[in-house]
Amino acid sequence: MNKQQDPRFRQANKEALLALGAYALYFVWWYVCAYGMGSGNPDNYSYVLGLPEWFFYSCIVGYPLITIILWGLVRLKFKDMPLGETPSAGENDGTASKDGDK
């Protein structure tokens, strides 16, 4: 089957772009929190639960947030599909299947 005609390639490309987009969003979140809040004088830092605010929001909040986003993407947008060759209609040559059925 031709790559252009197989819908699995379109779905795989869509899933790859969604995953890259989610990680790009995570990187922007992490960068803004870490370097935006943590670029000042350490004497002036605010603290959340005993951790610097920039660290808390970039690492402690960011990681579970991206995990939940990725879980949602997989559950809602990703599709389970066969990875092997799928014959087109009419291409069955009558040979035995791989599991020994005749």
pTM of the model: 0.67
* pLDDT for 90: 47
Is 15 part of any domain? no
Four-point Cα dihedral 17, 57, 72, 18, nearest 10? 0
Please tell me which residue, 89 or 67, carries the higher pLDDT value: 67
Enclosing domain of residue 40: 28-79
Residue 3 lies in a domain: no
Q: How many residues does the chain have?
A: 102
Q: What is the pLDDT of residues 15-39, one digit of tens each?
A: 999 999 999 999 999 999 888 888 8
Rounded to the nearest integer, the mean pLDDT of the chain is 82
Residue 55 belongs to some domain of the structure:
yes
Q: Which residue has the tokens 């979140």?
A: 29
